[in-house]
Amino acid sequence: MRTFCIANQKGGVGKTTTTVNLAAGLAQLGQRVLLVDLDPQGNATMGSGIDKRALPLSVYDVLLESASVAEARQRSPSGGFDVLGANRDLAGAEVELVALERRNERLRDALAAASADHDFVLIDCPPSLSLLTLNGLCSANGVFVPMQCEYFALEGLSDLVNTIKQVHANLNRHLIIIGLLRVMFDPRITLQQQVSDQLSKHFGEKVFNTIIPRNVRLAEAPSYGQPGLVFDPSSKGAQAYLEFAREMLTRLGPERAGESPAAI
Ligand code: ADP
Ligand code: MG
C-alpha cells in the first residue's frame, strides 16, 4: 500500500479535483484505491458520489477510534474506488484530537490495519497546515502539490515545504515531495507559460510532465457526483488526469526509499 497526500495550504488550487480524478484514473488502470477525505467541507466525498450528510461513519469516527477503516469506507458508485468520507463533524475532531495520545498518528495507525485492501491511498488535505493535515502527512509516503501557474504560486510553497521537512525530521522519515502538478493551465496566458517554465527550471524532475488544462467539464462533474474521468471521459481534463495516473504509475515504479525532501 502506498499512501499519498494531495496538499497545498491554499484553497481552490485543485486539490480535491486532483484527488478524485487521480483515484478514478488509478482505478481505471486496475489499482485498488482508497480516497481519504480529510477536509470537513467534504467536497471529495460529494464529488465521489457519496452524500456527506448521510454518512453512517466517516473519517471522524476513524480518527477517534470508534470505527475501523474497513467499517467506515464506502464505494464510490461510479468511480470504482473506496472512500473514507468526511463532513462537518471533522471540524470538531481538530479540537478533540489535541487532548488525545498519538494525535498525529491516528490516521496512520488506522490505515495500517487495512493496508492489505488497497494499492493506493490518496488523502485530500484541507487548505491549512492543521492537525488534520498533520495526520495526513504522518500517514503518507509522499506529497503531491497541485499548483496553478500564477505569479504568487511559489510564495505559499515554502510554508508547505517547511512543514514537510519538519514532519520528515520529527514524525515521518518516509515523507518526500513526489512532485508538483500544474493544474488549471491555460496555455494562451503568457504568464502561465512563463511560470510553468520557471517551475520546470527550478524544480526539474519534481515537476510532473503531465499538465492538467483548465477544463469546464472537470468543474461540472462534482455536481453530478462523478469524477470528471467518468462524467466525460473524452474531455481534455479527463484525458489529462488519466495520463497523470499513468505517469504516476510509471514514475513510482518499485517502492522508493530513503529519499529526502531536501531535494525541493
Ligand atoms: P481545492 O480542493 O484545492 O480547494 P478544488 O479541486 O475544489 O480545489 O478546485 C477549486 C475549483 O476549481 C472547483 O470549483 C473546481 O471544480 C475547479 N477546478 C479544479 N480544477 C479545474 C480544472 N482543471 N479546470 C477547471 N476548473 C477546475
Ligand atoms: Mg478541496
Q: Is the pLDDT of residue 256 over 60?
A: no
In a domain, residue 263? The reply is no
**Which CATH number is 230's domain given?**
3.40.50.300
What is d(CA 40, CA 52) in angstroms, rounded to the nearest whole number?
10
Centre of ligand 1 to C-alpha 22, Å, is 13
In a domain, 261, yes or no: no
pLDDT at 3: 97
Q: Could you give the CA distance from residue 151 to residue 14 in angstroms, rounded to a whole number?
A: 17
Nearest to 163 by CA among 263, 94, 35, 261: 261
Residue 38: give the domain boundaries: 2-256
CA 29/CA 31 separation, integer angstroms: 6
Can you read off the three cell numbers belonging to residue 56? 453512517
Q: Which atom of ligand 1 is nearest to the CA of 183?
A: 23
Domain count, the chain: 1
Task: Report residues whose beta carbon is within 6 angstroms of any ligand 1 atom.
Answer: 11-17, 43, 127, 183-184, 212, 214-215, 218-219, 237
Residue 6 belongs to some domain of the structure: yes
Per-residue model confidence (pLDDT) at position 260: 45
Distance 13 CA to ligand 1 centre (A): 6
pLDDT > 70: percent of the chain: 96
Q: Distance from the CA of 12 to the center of ligand 2, in angstroms? A: 7
Does this model's pTM top 0.85? Answer: yes
Give the atom of ligand 1 at the shortest distance from the alpha carbon of 11. 4
Instruction: Identify the pLDDT of residue 263.
Output: 44
Tell me which of 17-26, 33-42, 190-199 is least confident: 190-199
Q: Which residue has the higher pLDDT, 198 or 214?
A: 214
**259 Cα–ligand 1 center, Å:** 30
pLDDT at site 241: 98
For residue 231, pLDDT over 70 is answered with yes
> Does any domain span residue 264?
no
Q: What is the mean pLDDT of the chain?
A: 93
Q: Is residue 238 part of a domain?
A: yes
How does pLDDT run across 77-131, given as a tens digit for each residue? 999 999 999 999 999 998 899 899 899 999 999 999 999 999 999 999 999 888 9
Q: What is the pLDDT of residue 202?
A: 87
Whether 167 maps to a domain, the answer reads yes
**How far is CA 48 from each of CA 63, 202, 223, 227, rounded to the nearest angstrom?**
21, 34, 10, 6
What pLDDT shows up at residue 17? 98
Q: Is the pLDDT of residue 155 over 80?
A: no
pLDDT band at 259 (very low <50, low <70, confident <90, very high): very low
d(CA 203, CA 180): 8
Q: What is the pLDDT of residue 153?
A: 76
Nearest residue (by CA) to ligand 1, atom 1, is 12
**Single-letter amino acid, residue 230:** V
Asked whether residue 242 is assigned to any structural domain, the reply reads: yes
- What pLDDT score does 204 carry? 93
188: pLDDT strictly greater than 90: yes
C-alpha span between 220 and 218 (Å, rounded): 6
User: What's the 52 CA to ligand 2 centre distance in angstroms?
Assistant: 14
Alpha-carbon distance 91 to 132, whole Å? 9
Which pLDDT score, from 0 to 100, does residue 156 have?
75
**Pocket mutation for ligand 1, best pick of 6, 17, 224 (most atoms within 8 Å of C-beta):** 17
Ligand closest to the CA atom of residue 9: 1
Which of the ligands is closest to the CA of residue 41?
2
DSSP state of 151: T
> Residue 252: its pLDDT value, please?
86
